[in-house]
Structure 1
Amino acid sequence: MSQQLLSDLTSKHETHNTLALCFIANSGNAETGETLGNNVSKILMQQNARPYVIKKAALCLLHLFRKNADVVGPPANFVEKAKTLLQHTDAGVLTAVLSLIQGLAAAAAKEYEILIPLICKLLNKVVIQKAVTGDYLYDHIAAPWLVVKGFQLLQIFENIGQDKKAYKDLIEVLRGVIGTDSKKFVSVDAKTKQVRRRNAMLAVLFEGINVATRLFQDENFSKDKDNKDKQTDSKDPSKIVDSNSAKDNKDGQGGERTKEKDGRDIIQKSVNHFRYFLSFQDPDLR
């Protein structure tokens, strides 16, 4: 059996490749991983492979990893491959790759934290720029399951806001998701019953709120960020103000601007969403 699977994996016909990948993903065991894991990895990294082949290879490798963690090898080796895979332009491939990375990172989160900037950049590209093909517009929502996977992956990591560029990209994404009017999540056309659209929007929203909570629950991160801002301001004489005016700013509009600047206004918007949903009469939504 292994010899036949090896023959299919190394075949030049993609149909043979995909059939073998599907079989391994459903029936492969630890021994299969030892024998064929390298071949699956090679298919995953083939530059000329079609998207549907790469998707199957990613999910197949995830299955083998769950059976035998040695299939992937040291995390440091796969991180470089992951960086390449996250540059792919196909949303389906990216969704499968995020699933694979999520499975790997669950066992070694620290080693995969280096991918946070790429993940945040990808989410920004999808949510803000909507850079996906029409095939991945789900009821006019750009690749919702890719976004959900990305949010779930970020929740595995600690200190997801340490990189400035990644933090900026992520805050923009969270504002785009959580800043949506609550009424848009519950407005379902009476004739068409677009429940699918609502469910997709809510799935993205709830995972986005989870990421926001994860991002701001680290008090040390918030304190470090505040201290850095204070140190930056102290170096600029034009930003030095007396204590009374500083207090006024904090209590008034200045405080609101600061909150919006570092993104913590997102938490308040999340609370507002839940208040609205809990007051809604639809029991399914509540």
Structure 2
Amino acid sequence: MPGVNPYLMLSLPSFGMEFNEAYALGYSALDTTTHMGTIDGRLFGRISSVFMHTMQYGLVLGLFFVLFIYLFRKSKIKLFISISLIVLAVLTSGSRTPIGALLVTVGVVVLLLNKIRYLVMFLLFITLAIVILPLISEEVSEYVFSIVNSNDNVKGSSLEMRIEQLNACFDIIKYCFWEGKGYAWSYEYMSRFVVHPKLLCFESLLFVVLCNTGVLGVIVWGIFGILYLKSITNVRDKAKQMLLLSLFIFYIAFSCITGEYNYMKYFMLFYVFALGVSYSQSEDYRV
């Protein structure tokens, strides 16, 4: 059932929406009307579970990945089963964004832990993935590694494409460098023209912030990040610090890779749940 989702087919009409079968099959957003071209190298189409979009599904999978590492850290069996299932779900979801965001999150946390053992394990995992994925399936290998390399067989975003789009952002705000084009300008643009010639759907949090609020907006977001990091230093337990930090890193990485389409509410939900876990286990916050 590549991309076919009976749940959404039944539930979306109740909200005045229609299931986009062509997009779910794996066609790009611009090809869903013509159904021309290849299906973007997605072996299983785009899978979204009970979410309206595969990106929402991928975001929640990544947040659960971080949460389960903390919850099941003392039970190797539960940890192995849960993480294996999440990784399998991410690889078959049809979205490369959670793959990239998880790699960034794990990489940053490993560096912050400053332990050679974790760094060696992380590098070994990357090496094994590079070696094993082509043996499993050439299509899967091309699909995963197209995150950083442009590929004629796999259509979609790449690192090269994102750099070109970043340059386009600076062209847009060259006459309003500091303040940007105005509040929610990117969403207003998409409501009128659907896609931008170069930025498409403004597929990065950085692009949205730059275009809407300019360099000052980027500075404000930076201050927000610093205040968040400062707040979690009040947590005495190192594991809980890493949990709250990892949730934030994953959200920022995910949004910067694919855009900010009301994803913060999911991050806030998991953040509150993580705080609840911390409070329920012990009073480790200084008042």
TM-score by length of 1: 0.31
Larger Rg over CA atoms: 1
Whose helix fraction is larger, Structure 1's or Structure 2's? 1
Structure with bigger RCO (C-alpha 8 Å, 6+ apart) = 2
Give the TM-score normalised by the residue count of structure 2: 0.30
